[in-house]
Amino acid sequence: MLPVVDKPAIQYVVEEAVRAGLSDLLFVTGRGKTSIEDHFDRVYELEDKLEGDTGKAGLLERVQAATELATIHYVRQGEPKGLGHAVLCGAQHIGDEPFAVMLGDDLVDERDTLLTYMVDVQQRHGGCVVALMEVPADQIGLYGCAAVAATDETDVVRVTGLVEKPPPEEAPSNLAIIGRYVLAPEIFEVLRTTLPGRGGEIQLTDAIEALIDRSADGGPVHGVIFRGSPLRHR
Ligand code: G1P
């Protein structure tokens, strides 16, 4: 709920999803995150108050906009067992179709069309698509890192390997995963048997890596290289 300029950071993420054509959103929340649910609920008392004040029409619109962006659902991750586990919490809601994962603490500029492009790449190639960004070699250990092969599409690569937060000397590239993914539903089956990895957590990176080896049923894994500068707040 950290405010960025004039709205909570999480609202930028919701707006980005809506711009990419996604209208059914599931938040995976946990302890201490109830203010997110309140933010996207309607606050009739406040709306009534603003409606009665002609000078506040602009404010009323903005309050209502937060609640009308998309259909929003919530599921709680009862224990912090890692990003892979958090994604698995959405399995029942999502069912058998491709879906996007957006990490609320990675923000991209409102003018960037990264997620829209990733959805397009997934629709054309199937499988999974991760967002990648070049980082200085000494920072790769803060991210999941991808080994890649070129394709003939600009800024689209084939991902041939993934490793979660490698020491710089073991990193296969300087391409870091940033918090946007478009995933095939086969990921759930893999996540159910993914053992805790780096940091003792069930890592989404490890599950996607497993899908690379079984591309017959999970489809290929592609990366879209993001050339903007995301804001990471954590
Ligand atoms: C998570 C992922 C990591 C990714 C990062 C992007 O790590 O596990 O692969 O690079 O998000 O922000 P976290 O920073 O949550 O530990």
Mention every residue, 6+ apart, whose C-beta is less than 8 A from residue 41.
67
Mutate which of 103, 106, 135, 232 for ligand 1? The one with the most ligand atoms within 8 Å of its CB, which is 103
In this structure, the answer to whether residues 30 and 105 fall within a common structural domain is no
In this model, does residue 66 exceed pLDDT 60?
Answer: no
Residue 176 CA: nearest ligand 1 atom is 10
Three-state secondary structure string covering 156-170 = EEEEEEEEECCCHHH
Please indicate, yes or no, if residue 157 is contained in any of the structural domains.
yes
Whether residues 9 and 49 fall in one domain? yes
131 occurs within a structural domain: yes
Residue 168 token pair: 């710089």
Ligand 1 atom closest to residue 106's alpha carbon, by position in its atom list? 12
% residues pLDDT > 90 (the chain): 65
pLDDT number for residue 3: 76
pLDDT class of 55 with cuts at 50, 70, 90:
confident
**For residue 83, which atom of ligand 1 is closest to its CA?**
8
Mean residue pLDDT of the chain comes to: 89
Cβ neighbours around 139 below 10 Å, total? 12
| pLDDT score recorded for residue 48 | 74
Q: Do 140 and 61 sit in the same domain of this protein?
A: no
Q: Which of 205, 227, 220 is nearest to 149 (CA)?
A: 220
What pLDDT was estimated at residue 214? 73
Q: What is the pLDDT of residue 46?
A: 64
- Using one digit for the tens of pLDDT, what is the confidence trace for 10-51? 889 999 999 999 989 999 998 877 778 877 776 666 677 767
11 lines ligand 1 (CB under 6 A): no
Q: Show which of 76, 110, 138 is a domain's final residue.
A: 76
* 127 and 216 assigned to the same domain: yes
* Structural domain of 46: 1-76
Query: Is residue 93 predicted with pLDDT exceeding 70?
Result: yes
Residue 138 shares a structural domain with residue 205: yes
135: Cβ below 6 Å to ligand 1? no
- 90 occurs within a structural domain: no
- Domain boundary among the residues 43, 76, 109 is at 76
Same domain, 107 and 181: yes
* 87 lies in some domain: no
**CATH number, domain with residue 178:** 3.90.550.10
Does residue 40 line the site of ligand 1, with CB under 6 A? no
75-84, 116-125, 224-233: segment of lowest average pLDDT: 224-233
pTM: 0.89
pLDDT of residue 164: 98
Average pLDDT of the segment spanning 154-164: 97
| Pocket flag, ligand 1, residue 205 (CB < 6 Å) | yes
Same domain? 59 vs 108: no
Give the pLDDT of residue 215.
63
More confident residue, 110 or 196: 196
Task: To the nearest 10°, report the CA torsion of 77, 3, 112, 231.
Answer: -80
Integer CA distances (angstroms), 31 to 36, 125, 182, in order: 11, 37, 26
pLDDT band at 111 (very low <50, low <70, confident <90, very high): confident
Q: Which residue carries 């159910």 as its tokens?
A: 192
For residue 163, pLDDT beyond 90: yes
Check if 108 has its Cβ closer than 6 Å to any atom of ligand 1: no
Domains held by the chain: number? 2
Q: Nearest Cα to 185, choosing from 224, 217, 145, 223?
A: 217
> Which atom of ligand 1 lies nearest, measured to the CA of 144?
9
